[in-house]
A and B are shown apart, each in its own frame.
Chain A
Amino acid sequence: MSNTVSSQIPGVSIPRKRKPLIPACVLGMIIFVLTEIMFFSGLISAFNIIKAGNLIWPPMGQPRLPVGITAINTGFLVLSGIVLFFSNRAYSAGSFSRARKLLGLSVLLGAVFIGVQGYEWVRLLSYGITMTSSTYGSFFYVIIGTHAIHAIGAMIFMFRAYFKMSDPEAARDAFWTIQVFWYFVVAIWPILYSLVYLS
């Protein structure tokens, strides 16, 4: 297939306009997520090296993290990702109203995750785990806190996408972009949970 098309002027051809593979905002988000993966890898690496250098982990005298409630909370987050996947399927099938409802449900599940995390943080602070209490506390707040900031940021944009969905065609790119970011937030959480909470 030729990459040019003939114009109305004889002998002059103009380049064929190719449809972009993916919207620019989605590509931008993919590149951003790649940098985020490296950022979290750096945090995880530092955590692993410090942990390996300690004979007892978590250090003595430090309160234990709430493993059970956070496991349930992990379920909410993963469920939010699954609901978003079905929202995308509904959108692709042209069922925009269903897609919007599912997106709303996904936002709600994400908000529950953030709410429970916030509640747990308040409790942990009252038990004495702070940024300066030990390297354990520092790593906990840096790694889990960074994830929480990402989750809150993603929630804001998911809200925005939800309201934009009243005009489904206009919301297409925003919806796709936020999906990339939310899947990243959901996918990285079980790794962080097993590393920080279960180790």
Chain B
Amino acid sequence: MKLSKSALLTLGFFFVTMSQLDACAVCFSAKEGARGAFYITTAVLTFLPLALISGVIFWLKKKLKAQESEEEI
């Protein structure tokens, strides 16, 4: 329940500050292309670290499992 509350608060924060965030994409150039690039890079920079860290954890877990099964033999 606590988690959903904090998630809602975060979402609310983004909705409130959306216009300010959006302004960054066009503060130097009021073009649709710049706005699109800003959205894409924001998404990439948000999800890439999560994907990278999850990937390393998954790989280490797989290695650990392999080592444990080796030890059992």
Instruction: With CB as the reference atom, state the residue of chain A lying closest to B72.
Output: A1
Contact A48/B41 with A34-B52, A34-B53, A53-B33 known, Cβ cut-off 8 Å: yes
Residues of A within 8 A of B40 (CB): 48
B48 engages A21 (CB within 8 Å): no
**Contacting pair A21 B37 (CB below 8 A):** no
B44–A34 CB distance below 8 A: no
Dominant secondary structure at the A interface: helix
CB-defined contacts of A48 to chain B, threshold 8 Å: 37, 40-41
Number of A-B contacts (CB under 8 A): 53
B37 in contact with A37 (CB, 8 Å)? no
Instruction: From the candidates B31, B48, B53, name the one contacting A52 in the complex (CB within 8 A).
Output: B31
Verify if A60 is at the interface (C-beta below 8 Å from B).
no
Report A-chain residues with C-beta under 8 Å of the C-beta of B31: 52-53
The answer to whether B49 touches A38 (Cβ under 8 A) is yes
Q: List residues of A (47-66) whose CB comes within 8 Å of B's CBs.
A: 48-49, 51-54
A30 nearest CB neighbor, chain B only: B56
Question: For chain B, what secondary structure do more than half of its interface residues adopt (helix, strand, loop), or is it mixed?
Answer: helix
A52 touching B37, Cβ below 8 Å: yes
Asked if A22 is at the interface (CB within 8 A of a chain B CB), the reply is yes
Within 8 Å by CB of A38, from B29, B48, B60, B68, lies B48
Nearest CB in chain A to that of B70: its residue: A19
Do A19 and B67 have beta carbons less than 8 Å apart? yes
A52 CA / B28 CA spacing, docked (Å) = 11
Residues in A lying within 8 Å of B, measured CB to CB: 1, 18-19, 21-22, 30-31, 34, 37-38, 41-42, 44-45, 48-49, 51-54
For the complex of A and B, the 5 pairs showing the least CB-CB separation, nearest first, are A53-B29, A45-B41, A52-B37, A52-B33, A53-B34
Q: Which residues of B contact A (CB under 8 A)?
A: 25, 28-29, 31, 33-34, 36-38, 40-41, 44-45, 48-49, 52-53, 56, 60, 63-64, 67-68, 71-72
